[in-house]
């Protein structure tokens, strides 16, 4: 392990970056799933991060064991039954499509708050940019996600610590639904990270490395989510946090911090949207040509974005969360069972 510290760190950062998206950085996800649960929200955060770590560990250990960096190949190995495999892929498609819809809506809200544009114009501009990227097939842009994830981590930590200098007393009511919120949050976030996890496994040398990297990624996410949760819990119910709570909070501290956070969030919206869009297009292209798949993806996401950023997170993400959680548990269990059976055969 000592000789592979850089590999483990790279995988941990890459795994965390796969979860950190624009909905996460905006703070709206944190409000919807954790802040509303009061002081017990920290339990939901712990459950979500533990869920992610266990899923990442199962997938990474299996990929290292099989020597594969392809999530599709891993699924075929784990789920030979075609019908069941398609059901799992459908769950992943649903989560990816929901993310694309939310990113389109978030782009509209960002355009309104930063530039005073109508929400529909911001959403349309985002769809046009994504469409150009999809048609040009510039998949190399997806490689920027890990780097952007590191930038967002630093930006979120800095912004939260800065805001906490002005903290005030907070009052939070206990909620028994915290654990379920944690499961739902983890569900729609992690089931779509399989491809990233499989690809990152190439940097690991052993199953022990996989376990350490997964734990480190979970710890990173816990710290970041807890910081955002702390900041937003202080002001929740006392001021209007808007559809993009963290942008509201940073602008309260000064225009410079608000603009910085807004630019960082805009970049996250674009890369998250492109990554999710490609995932949807890849799956739909098995049934239709790529251009038609791209058109369908953009049309659905643009239409759905009209429901509103916070509304989509509260409804679509929560529903997809339980579907994604079920798929993630199924994949993780299959990984563990297959690994255990192989170890028995060796003995």
Give the pLDDT of residue 190. Answer: 65
- Structure-token pair, residue 201: 């496994």
Q: What is the pLDDT of residue 143?
A: 46
What does the pLDDT profile of the chain (347 residues) look like in tens digits?
455 787 787 778 777 766 776 677 788 888 888 888 887 888 888 888 888 898 888 888 888 888 887 777 888 888 888 888 888 888 888 888 888 888 898 889 888 888 888 999 999 999 998 888 777 754 444 445 556 666 777 788 888 888 876 554 443 334 445 555 666 666 556 666 666 677 777 778 888 888 888 898 888 888 888 888 888 888 888 888 888 888 888 888 888 888 888 888 887 787 778 777 877 887 787 788 888 988 999 999 999 888 888 788 777 777 777 788 888 888 888 888 887 877 777 76
pLDDT at residue 299 in the model: 94
Segments making up each domain of the chain, as ranges: 2-346
Q: What is the value of pTM for the model shown?
A: 0.76
Looking at residue 2, its pLDDT comes to 52
pLDDT of residue 120: 92
Name the CATH topology of 2-346: Amino acid/polyamine transporter I (1.20.1740)
Euclidean distance between CA atoms 193 and 188, whole angstroms: 10
Q: What pLDDT does residue 340 have?
A: 82
What spatial distance separates the first Cα and last Cα of the chain, rounded to whole Å?
25
Token look-up 């496994």 returns: 201
Cα–Cα dist 309/131, whole Å: 20
């Amino acid at each position: 392990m000592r000789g592979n510290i850089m590999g483990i760190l790279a995988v941990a950062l890459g795994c965390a970056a796969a979860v950190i998206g624009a909905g996460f950085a905006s703070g709206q996800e944190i409000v919807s799933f954790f802040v509303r649960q009061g002081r017990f929200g920290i339990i939901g955060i712990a459950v979500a991060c533990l869920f992610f770590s266990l899923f990442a560990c199962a997938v990474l250990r299996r990929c290292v064991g099989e020597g594969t960096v392809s999530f599709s190949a891993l699924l075929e190995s784990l789920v030979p039954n075609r019908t069941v495999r398609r059901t799992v892929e459908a769950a992943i498609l649903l989560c990816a499509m929901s993310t694309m819809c939310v990113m389109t809506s978030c782009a509209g809200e960002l355009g309104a708050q930063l530039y005073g544009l109508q929400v529909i114009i911001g959403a349309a501009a985002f769809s046009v940019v994504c469409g150009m990227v999809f048609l040009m097939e510039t998949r190399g842009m997806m490689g920027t996600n890990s780097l952007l994830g590191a930038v967002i981590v630093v930006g979120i930590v800095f912004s939260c610590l800065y805001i906490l200098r002005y903290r005030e007393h907070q009052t939070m009511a206990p909620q028994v639904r915290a654990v379920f919120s944690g499961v739902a949050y983890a569900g729609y976030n992690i089931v779509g990270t399989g491809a990233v996890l499989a690809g990152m496994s190439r940097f690991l040398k052993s199953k022990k490395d996989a376990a350490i990297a997964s734990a480190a990624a979970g710890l990173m996410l816990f710290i970041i989510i807890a910081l955002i949760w702390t900041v937003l819990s202080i002001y929740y119910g006392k001021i209007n946090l808007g559809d993009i709570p963290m942008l509201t909070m940073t602008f309260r501290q000064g225009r410079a911090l608000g603009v910085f956070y807004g630019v960082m969030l805009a970049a996250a919206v674009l890369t998250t949207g492109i990554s999710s869009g490609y995932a949807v297009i890849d799956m739909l292209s098995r049934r239709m040509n790529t251009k038609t798949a791209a058109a369908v993806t953009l049309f659905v996401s643009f239409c759905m974005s009209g429901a509103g950023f916070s509304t989509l997170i509260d409804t679509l993400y929560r529903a997809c969360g339980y579907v994604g959680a079920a798929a993630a548990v199924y994949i993780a269990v299959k990984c563990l069972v297959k690994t255990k059976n192989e170890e028995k055969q060796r003995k």
